[in-house]
Amino acid sequence: MKSMTLSLMAAAMATLLASCSNPPARQTAGDAGAAHVAAANQAAGADLQALTVLCKPAPATRASHDEVEKGVAGQIARPAPAPGKAFDNLYFVGAAWVSAWALKTSDGIILIDALNNAQEASTLIEGGMKKLGLNPADIKYIVVTHAHGDHYGGVNHLVERYRPRVVMSEADWAMTEGKLEFESSQWGPVPKRDIVVKDGDAITLGDTRVTLYATPGHTAGTISPVFDVTTGGQKHRAMIWGGTAFNFGRDIPRLDSYIGATSRMMQLAGEQNIDVMLSNHAGYDGTVPKLAQMSAPGARGNPFVLGTPTVRRSLTVMNECAQATRDRFGS
């Protein structure tokens, strides 16, 4: 997989740019988070190394506006991957950097995230869906995992064309109506407040129920959808992690929230036998190479099905890296 060489939001956003080619984070002498970095690397093994970029030292301050603009421009300029079918009912229609997922139901489509702006929503979401045999007019809901522009920027374009309902948490709706954490002229405008969800609420469309769990940390109101997918006649339980990177500076309460959320979802993954772990940034979950693997001649099985122990290991890596970051900042 091609190594990511562009920086997003300069150093403050570096952890957001993980890809499978990133070398694993290593503890160094005097590193306050060394024990947690070691635990993260052990949990990651050989297959989850993309997540260990989270263990690299995070900056204590957020990126400046100029850094945000430069970083977003670089990411949007990257060539987009082809859309693809990950499961019988779940399709990738994202960009190189940020993902969007179309969940097909018996009564329409639930779109999870909407990319950076109207152009991407038109070209990648609408265009990608059409290439995959889906009708964008069937979009009935857009779930926005968190209130950063790379996830909500295309919402208004889709709402104007197809009138879907828009779903977000109270905390992140409030952020869109007040002071945004990050702003860019290359992101579409914030959507208008619509459906507000709290932890454990569900969106039901036709034969599909999507449960939305509060997983705060990346933002105060990040939500992670959990739902069933099928492949080869077999049902699996999937989670899309709603917000991954520590791009908020030295904010110990936010890190504590993230640590609590990953711990809780580890337990829930075991209780619900969640065996598919997806991301809204393709570098973390290997979406693009996995889709390529599925389309290769003679391909067998589905590489997105990880098994519950591996899903729990993913959450362990994120949890341990968050603890390492907190220890470095000092609690």
pLDDT digits 0-9 by tens, 99-113: 999 999 999 999 999
**Average of per-residue pLDDT across 44-60:** 96
Q: Are 224 and 215 in contact (CB under 8 A)?
A: yes
Q: Are 98 and 151 in contact (CB under 8 A)?
A: yes
- Put simply, whether the predicted model's pTM sits higher than 0.85 gets the answer yes
pLDDT at 32: 82
Query: Which of 5-19, 120-134, 137-151 shows the lowest mean pLDDT across its residues?
Result: 5-19
Identity of the amino acid at 47: D
Q: In residues, how long is the chain?
A: 331
pLDDT at 28: 52
CATH of domain 32-71+79-329: 3.60.15.10
- pLDDT tens digits along 158-180: 999 999 999 999 999 999 999 99
What the block records as the tokens of 100 is: 């969007």
Residue 16 pLDDT exceeds 90: no
